Homo-oligomer: A and B are copies of this chain.
Amino acid sequence: MFSKSCKYAIRAVLFLAANASEAQKMGVREIADALDVPKHFLAKILQDLSRHNLVSSVKGPSGGFFLSDKNMRATLRSVVECIDGPEIFTGCILGLPVCSSENPCPMHKQAVVYRAGLLDLIEHQPIVEVARKVKEQGLKL
């Protein structure tokens, strides 16, 4: 489904959304410990997200990562596309180089429906909304 990097990315972003702020930045170590993921791998992922303006960061002492208001309004879809690339939503489910409604693979029609559902999950709710649910319901990350 999602790559490991992408799963870590989603969890990290939601964790930041729920627990950090510009006034309360979080270091990689803290996030990695909380999510129980390899610290340096996570650092690389956060740098990727930072370069794409999906998370904000400040260097130096009392620096760290957090989500700006703009970051908060992005959707999980942008996070997924940033890490796993957009083909995850568009490529043929059987890996055929060409596969379209005119020239479909045997699973094309169903795959379209299924993907619409997946996109729906991660596209319409901005990160801030998901984070709110995480906090309210004390969901795990």
**Please, which residues of chain B bring their CB within 8 A of the CB of A111?**
121
Q: Which residues of A contact B (CB under 8 A)?
A: 1-2, 4, 7-8, 10-11, 14, 88, 93-96, 98-99, 103-107, 110-111, 113-114, 117-118, 121-122, 130, 133-134, 139-141
Given contacts A1-B88, A105-B141, contact A7 B95 (CB under 8 A): yes
Copies of chain A in the complex: 2
Partner of A117, one of B8, B98, B117: B117
Task: Tell me whether A7 and B107 are in contact in the complex, defined as CB-CB below 8 angstroms, given that A1-B88, A121-B114 are known contacts.
Answer: no
Q: Given A121-B110, A133-B106, A94 and B139 touching (CB < 8 A)?
A: no
For A106, what are the chain B residues with a Cβ–Cβ distance below 8 Å? 14, 130, 133-134, 139, 141
User: Is the pair A1, B105 in contact by a Cβ cutoff of 8 Å?
Assistant: no
